[in-house]
Structure 1
Amino acid sequence: MEKLSVSGKIDSLQEIVSYVIEAAKSAGLDKKSTYKLRLAVDEIATNIITHGYEEANLSGNIDIFADINDSNLTLSLEDTGARYDPYGQIGVEEKDLNKPLEERSMGGLGVYLAIQGVDKYFYERVGEVNRNIFVVNSNK
Structure 2
Amino acid sequence: MKQMGTAKELTVEATVDNLNKVTSFVEEALEESGCPMKAQMQINIAIDEIFSNISYYAYQPNTGDVTVQLEISEEPAEVTITFIDQGIPYDPLSQEEPDTTLSADERKIGGLGIFMVKKSMDDLSYEYKDGKNILRMKKILR
* Within-5 A mapping of 1:1-140: 1-54=7-60, 57-70=61-74, 71=76, 72-89=78-95, 91-93=96-98, 96-139=99-142
Q: Which runs of 5+ in 2 are unaligned?
A: 1-6
- Per-residue deviation, residues 45-86 of structure 1 (Å, max 9, x unmatched): 1111111123xx232111011111112111111111111211
Partners of 2:29 and 2:135 in 1: CA distance: 16
Give the structure with the higher percent strand.
2
The percentage of aligned residue pairs carrying the same residue is 28
SS in structure 2 at match of 1:68? strand
SS in structure 2 at match of 1:136? strand
- Per-residue deviation, residues 1-54 of structure 1 (Å, max 9, x unmatched): 431110011111110111121232233211100000110111011111111123
Alignment: residue pair count: 134
Give me the TM-score of the superposition, normalised by structure 1: 0.88
Give me the TM-score of the superposition, normalised by structure 2: 0.87
Q: Which runs of 5+ in 1 are unaligned?
A: none
Moved over 3 A (4+): none
Shift of 1:127: 1.8
Partners of 1:101 and 1:83 in 2: CA distance: 29
Could you tell me which amino acid in structure 2 is paired with residue 67 of structure 1?
E
Shift of 1:107: 2.6
Shift of 1:92: 4.1
Partners of 2:66 and 2:33 in 1: CA distance: 22
Aligned Cα root-mean-square deviation (Å): 1.4
